[in-house]
Structure 1
Amino acid sequence: MTAPPAGTRILSLAHHQPTRVLTNEELAGMVDTSDEWIRSRIGIASRHIAAEDESVADMATSAAAKAIARAGVDAADIDLVIVATCTAVDRMPSVAARVARNLEIPAAGVFDVNAACAGFSYALATASLAVAGGGSRTALVIGADKMSDFLDWEDRSTCVIFGDGAGAAVVTATDSPTDAESVGPVVWGSQPERGSAITLGTSGPDGPRALFRQDGHVVYRWALTALAPVARRACEQAGVAPSELAAVVTHQANVRIINAVAQKLGATRAVVARDVVESGNTSAASVPLALSKLLESGRVSSGDPVLLFGFGAGLVYAGQVVRCP
């Protein structure tokens, strides 16, 4: 244990996407769908699909290695590794332990978080709390999912939605509570009574099945009615008005949901991330992946306040305002 710091900040962000791009036109040759149907309902044009031998840990390692390099720290400086994922095929060891091994990170605390598509926001909050409490000095936070392993490629309502990828951040202590690169307080919670609306690997009448299923109507109505007030509370907790946000990066589930949350929030100046158009829904990877791309493109700058907001199976949600590295 070290002495608790004044606050926490993100040093760097990075992402990884598989090389294969699956377009709507290609999907139309695989299942009863069309480019117009997918774009009008979800807003997706393409998604990246990992190769059969490219694992969640592989993608997480690639994103993490880039984030560590950009942060200018050594692997030995990392004392905590948290991976948010819901698609690890093997139960043990954790994906975090595999990433630590791959990157030769010695003796770090390692564990995985499963909060589905809100996973990165949960993991980032957990890492920030660990650093703020003195239990860690430099943490590696990763969101990575390979949804393609768990899709029913004959179900046009779900297989068209998802892509694969990973995003990573390096989080460290800061001596100033007003540091320009801070991680704000998290606002998180759930509506577990509706948790059955999204499942993966539940037991049905035909026995165990490891396939993604969702009641899209339930999820859509929940997202449109419940999420904007939570996002607003995250801004209030950080002392940042929605109109002051430089960007809004929600979970990349659906363009209509993204637009509705941003509009109801009143983020009038903000760039709204819509990486779902070219990447699909990448589950726990979607928030860091989208923010990393905004930084790379120059659409947000160092010190800019950005709302990160994840939501997904459970039904869970988590939001925090961060300052860009």
Structure 2
Amino acid sequence: MTLASTAGPAGTRILGLGHYRPGNVITNHDLIARGVDTDDEWIKSRVGITERRWADPDETIVDMAEQAGSKALAASGVAASEVDLVLVATCTMPTPVPSAAPALAHRLGIEAPGAYDVNSGCSGFVYALNTASAAVLTGQARNVLVVASERFSGWLDMADRSTCIILADAAGAAVVGPSDAIGLGPVVWGSDGEQAGTVTIDEDSRFFQQEGQAVYRWATGEMAPVALAACERAGVDPSEIAAFVPHQANLRIIDALARRIGLPNAIVARDIETSGNTSAATIPLALSRMVERGEIPSGAPVLLLGFGAGLAYAGQVVLAP
């Protein structure tokens, strides 16, 4: 026998974006005052960060996701009653159960949607974005809310200056819905599980740890071809890309990738300078802030490139809402 299936639209696109950054601004000088063995020039020269945001002690991943998600819904014009699926990309939930997505849906007044979390580290938003697109294309959902929310301030070893200076808290969100044309290009994704141990949470201390040089070599050496493949699959020449929004891991990595890909007309997201590295949240946070500032015209092609823990990666060209 053959089972019946649902039919979806011709394409999907991002209908609206939203973001949230906590109010606590932590400058490089604040870290020094807290006893971190570093200095302002060392941090800026190594990773390009001048300040980052940390959540209040009682501010949760769901709290931040609610702020970003509500803004994305408002920007999209999609009502909560029209959302059938809620996805939260995160790797920093304090416990594995319950997941963030059902609680977030309840907070936003989204009644009985499909709801689950996606944990693919720093590439999590792009993974979730494509899961959302597939749900709409196959008729499983009318609209999908995708939120990336991370709270790294609860996982930091303040004696490890290689990590505590980088990581931060934030949330970014997108509403994915139907479109007569293709607004989300084909994804190019994969992983290098042989190096999965380079980015971890220590089982005993519960502190974030990474082998920074190994990740730097991998990202700068392997990710440019992924980005170029995403452009090719979308039928877009790199010279046509209006903005490049990679994972905000390190300013040196971002600049090296932009040079190696060759994006002569693209604005390059450098949100890490004032937001820090917020893992899965970096891409939607940076993209939302760029759109809010009017730096990317509606309908312009944007290259997204997530990479990090896993080591998993995902590249994709999307049209700006």
Shorter-chain TM-score: what band?
over 0.9
Tell me how far 1:91 sits from its aligned partner: 2.2
- Equivalent residue pairs, number: 316
The alignment status of 1:299 with 2:259, answered yes or no, reads no
1:215-259: CA deviations, max 9, x gaps?
Answer: 001000001100000010011111111110000000000011001
**Contact (CA 8 Å) 2:172, 2:281: kept in 1 or not?**
yes
Q: Which residue of 1 aligns with 2:193?
A: 192
User: 1:154 Cα shift?
Assistant: 1.4
1:46 is aligned to 51
- Which of 4, 10, 16 is residue 14 of structure 2 equivalent to? 10
Indicate if the aligned counterparts of 1:82 and 1:112 stay in contact, CA closer than 8 A: yes
Distance 1:295 1:24 in 2: 27
**Which residue is equivalent to 2:172?**
167
Deviates more, 1:128-137 or 1:215-224: 128-137
* AA at the equivalent of 2:229: R
Cα shift at 1:2:
4.3
In the superposition, the TM-score normalised over structure 2's length comes to 0.97
What's the secondary structure of 2:153's corresponding residue? helix
The answer to whether 1:262 aligns with 2:258 is: yes
Partner residue, 1:308: 304
Give the unaligned 5+ runs of structure 1: none
Letter in 1 for 2:252: R
Task: State the partner residue of 2:223.
Answer: 227
TM-score by length of 1: 0.96
> Post-superposition shift, 1:135?
1.1
Whether the 8 Å CA contact 1:2–1:136 is kept in 2: the answer is: no
Q: Percent identity?
A: 54
Post-superposition shift, 1:69?
1.0
| Aligned-pair Cα RMSD in Å | 0.9
User: Where do 1:1-325 residues align within 5 Å?
Assistant: 2-30=6-34, 31-174=36-179, 176-178=180-182, 182-200=183-201, 202-203=202-203, 208-325=204-321
> Which SS does the other structure have where 1:14 is aligned?
strand
C-alpha separation in 2, matches of 1:190 and 1:265:
20
Q: Post-superposition shift, 1:90?
A: 2.7
CA distance in 2, matches of 1:156, 1:113: 28
For 1:235 and 1:73, how far apart are their aligned partners in 2? 29
Identify unmatched segments of 5+ residues in structure 2: none
Runs of 4+ off more than 2 Å:
90-93
Q: Secondary structure at the match of 2:164?
A: coil
1:56-96 CA distances to partner (integer Å, 9 max, x unpaired)?
A: 01000110011111111211111000000000113222101
Deviations 1:143-188 (Å, cap 9, x if unpaired)?
Answer: 11001110101111110001100000000012x235xxx0111110
Amino acid at match of 1:276: I
